[in-house]
Amino acid sequence: MPMFDTLIYEKPEANIARIWLNRPEMRNAQDTHLLYELNDAFDAAMIDDEVKVVVLAGKGSHFSAGHDLREANPKDASHKRVGSWSADNWDGAEAYYCREKEIYEGFCRRWRDLAKPTIASVQGKAIAGGLMLIWPCDFVIASDDATFQDNTMFMGIPGVEYFAHTWELGIRKAKEFLMTGQPITAAEAQAAGMVNRVVARDALEAETLAFARSIADKPSFALKLAKDAINAAFHAQGFENVQRAAFNAHHLAHTHYRLHQKGAYMDTAFMERFASKSAQK
48-67, pLDDT tens digit by residue?
999 999 999 999 999 999 99
**What residue numbers bound the domain in which 81 lies?**
7-279
Rounded Cα gap, residues 222 and 142, in angstroms = 26
| Amino acid identity, position 30 | Q
| Amino acid identity, position 60 | G
Instruction: Provide, rounded to the nearest whole percent, the portion of the chain with pLDDT above 70.
Output: 86
Please, are residues 238 and 26 in contact by the beta-carbon 8 Å criterion? Answer: no
pLDDT, residue 144, reads 98
Radius of gyration of the chain (CA): 18
pLDDT, residue 71, reads 78
pLDDT, residue 225, reads 97
Indicate if the pLDDT at residue 192 is higher than 50. Answer: yes
Please tell me whether residue 76 adopts helix, strand or coil conformation.
Answer: helix
Domain count for the chain: 1
Model confidence at 207, pLDDT cuts 50, 70, 90, reads very high
Indicate if the pLDDT at residue 234 is higher than 60. Answer: yes
HSE-CB for 281 with a 13 A CA cutoff: 5
Over residues 250-265, mean pLDDT:
70
Residue 1 domain flag: no
Over residues 209-235, mean pLDDT:
96
Instruction: Provide, rounded to the nearest whole percent, the portion of the chain with pLDDT above 90.
Output: 72
CATH code assigned at 43? 3.90.226.10
Q: What are the CA-CA distances from residue 114 to residues 117, 137, 145, 220, 244 (Å)?
A: 7, 9, 29, 12, 20
